[in-house]
Chain A
């Protein structure tokens, strides 16, 4: 059994918490030992999770100045690419190890490469997909040949064909990124947008087909 600490106790931290709890529950149902022991959360804003979400685990410390307490691993409970980068850099400097968590109900092909600290809740990841470190896939469809670089996040029902998503890109719900497209670093793809041509780094795209709006 691995000890695990969730970084950030916001809404997204709760999602990570529920996926880890569910992994434990499924293992127990099969008669196996639960793979994780949740020690608690670390967050800079202390809050009472029992009051807010009805969770018995507590916020056990703040992220700034946090040092590993033993052999525990960490799961990142933030979805914003820039925030993920700042927090993971901070914690990795102090020697924290990040765990990749894949929800058991998601369909992940054995023939894909997944980096450290990734979090995959659902839906499908095909053969030949390359995910960097600290990538979040929250219910998206990633088709074969796609490459998603470090710190990027894709959300519900997004479809990524064989495109290249650079670092720190946020892909909103129901967005579709077509074959052969390169989405530049720090770009933000809004909900329901269709991306058919390359996206410049740092831009905000919206519409069908998507245009630059900021």
Chain B
């Protein structure tokens, strides 16, 4: 059994906690023992502490944390920039990030993925290449390439797309077949991209257009 610590930001840390419970349940059925023991969570947001501390113990701020050799880390963060910040800070201190794959997800065995990913897509097809620290949640995807730190959220459809690094596809984002998405771009919720999405752009709407406003994940 491995000790695992969740680094949480926004609502997503608890989702990862639920995913670990699900993985444990399956491991218990198949092997007769739990796979992970959740040691606690690290966060820098006050709101998160009040919700999350009901399920797991609060260990402190990730900025003041010194990792030990025995434990692994799970990224409970959606925001790609934040993920990069946390990963760079903690990997410099020799933290190891664990890849978690949802037991219900339809994933073939021959896909290529890096370290520290949270993969709980609805469905992922052959010939997909996924970078490190990628988060995929209930997403439909086939023959895709995804760069490091990118996140795709619930019910997103990114079939046959190429997505760069540090990009974000929000809930119900849909990239029409054959289009690609650059680096650090955002496809907002419920939007339909019918053209390529350029680097650093934020697109919204049906069909998606460039948004002028500054993007923020949380209100």
Task: Give the interface of A toward B (CB within 8 A).
Answer: 107, 109, 111, 124, 126-128, 141, 143-146, 157, 159, 161-162, 174-176, 178-181, 192-194, 196-197, 208-209
**Which partner residue on chain B sits nearest A182 by CB separation?**
B219
Out of A144, A175, A181, which one reaches B190, CB within 8 Å? A175
Out of A126, A145, A157, A208, which one reaches B155, CB within 8 Å? A157
A210 to B53, CA, bound (A): 34
Q: Are B219 and A180 in contact (CB under 8 A)?
A: yes
Q: Is B166 an interface residue (CB 8 A)?
A: no
Q: Are B18 and A145 in contact (CB under 8 A)?
A: no
Q: Are B219 and A144 in contact (CB under 8 A)?
A: no
- Residue in B52, B154, B171 with the greatest tally of chain A CB atoms within 10 Å: B171
Q: Which residues of B contact A109 (CB under 8 A)?
A: 18, 21
Q: Are B190 and A174 in contact (CB under 8 A)?
A: yes
Q: Are A144 and B204 in contact (CB under 8 A)?
A: no
Residue pairs across A and B with Cβ atoms less than 8 A apart, 18 shown, are A109-B21, A111-B54, A126-B18, A127-B17, A127-B54, A143-B11, A143-B15, A145-B47, A159-B155, A161-B10, A162-B11, A162-B51, A174-B190, A176-B189, A176-B190, A196-B189, A196-B219, A197-B219
Q: Is B217 an interface residue (CB 8 A)?
A: yes
Out of A111, A141, A175, A180, which one reaches B55, CB within 8 Å? A111
Q: Are B154 and A194 in contact (CB under 8 A)?
A: no
Least CB distance, A109 to chain B, in whole angstroms: 5
Out of A144, A175, A181, A197, which one reaches B14, CB within 8 Å? A144
Q: Is B191 an interface residue (CB 8 A)?
A: yes
Question: 8 nearest interchain CB pairs?
Answer: A144-B14, A180-B219, A176-B189, A162-B11, A194-B190, A159-B171, A194-B189, A176-B171
A134 to B29, CA, bound (A): 34
Q: Which residues of B contact A174 (CB under 8 A)?
A: 155, 172, 190
Given A145-B51, A176-B172, answer yes or no on A208-B219 (Cβ-Cβ < 8 Å): no
Q: Are A144 and B171 in contact (CB under 8 A)?
A: no
Q: Is B170 an interface residue (CB 8 A)?
A: yes
Q: How many A-B contacts at CB < 8 Å in the complex?
A: 96
What DSSP secondary structure best describes chain A's contact surface?
loop
Q: Are B11 and A179 in contact (CB under 8 A)?
A: yes
Least CB distance, A32 to chain B, in whole angstroms: 19
Q: Are A194 and B11 in contact (CB under 8 A)?
A: no
Given A194-B188, A208-B188, answer yes or no on A127-B172 (Cβ-Cβ < 8 Å): no
A146 to B12, CA, bound (A): 12
Q: Which residues of A contact B182 (CB under 8 A)?
A: none
A109 to B51, CA, bound (A): 14
Extra A-B contacts (16), CB below 8 Å, given A143-B15, A209-B204: A128-B51, A141-B171, A144-B11, A146-B11, A159-B154, A161-B11, A162-B10, A162-B51, A179-B10, A179-B218, A181-B219, A193-B190, A194-B189, A194-B191, A208-B205, A208-B206
Q: Which residues of B contact A176 (CB under 8 A)?
A: 170-172, 189-190
- Residue in A109, A181, A194 with the greatest tally of chain B CB atoms within 10 Å: A194
**Which partner residue on chain A sits nearest B76 by CB separation?**
A144
A208 to B174, CA, bound (A): 13
Least CB distance, A154 to chain B, in whole angstroms: 13
Given A128-B51, A208-B191, answer yes or no on A179-B17 (Cβ-Cβ < 8 Å): no
Q: In residues 184-219 of chain B, which contact A (Cβ within 8 Å)?
A: 188-191, 204-206, 217-219
Q: Which residues of B contact A159 (CB under 8 A)?
A: 153-155, 171-172, 189
Q: Which residues of B contact A161 (CB under 8 A)?
A: 10-11, 171
A2 to B176, CA, bound (A): 49
Q: Are B155 and A141 in contact (CB under 8 A)?
A: yes
A143 to B189, CA, bound (A): 15
Given A176-B170, A208-B189, A208-B191, answer yes or no on A145-B11 (Cβ-Cβ < 8 Å): yes
Q: Is B138 an interface residue (CB 8 A)?
A: yes
- Residue in B52, B138, B189 with the greatest tally of chain A CB atoms within 10 Å: B189
A196 to B14, CA, bound (A): 21
Q: Which residues of A contact B172 (CB under 8 A)?
A: 157, 159, 174, 176, 192, 194
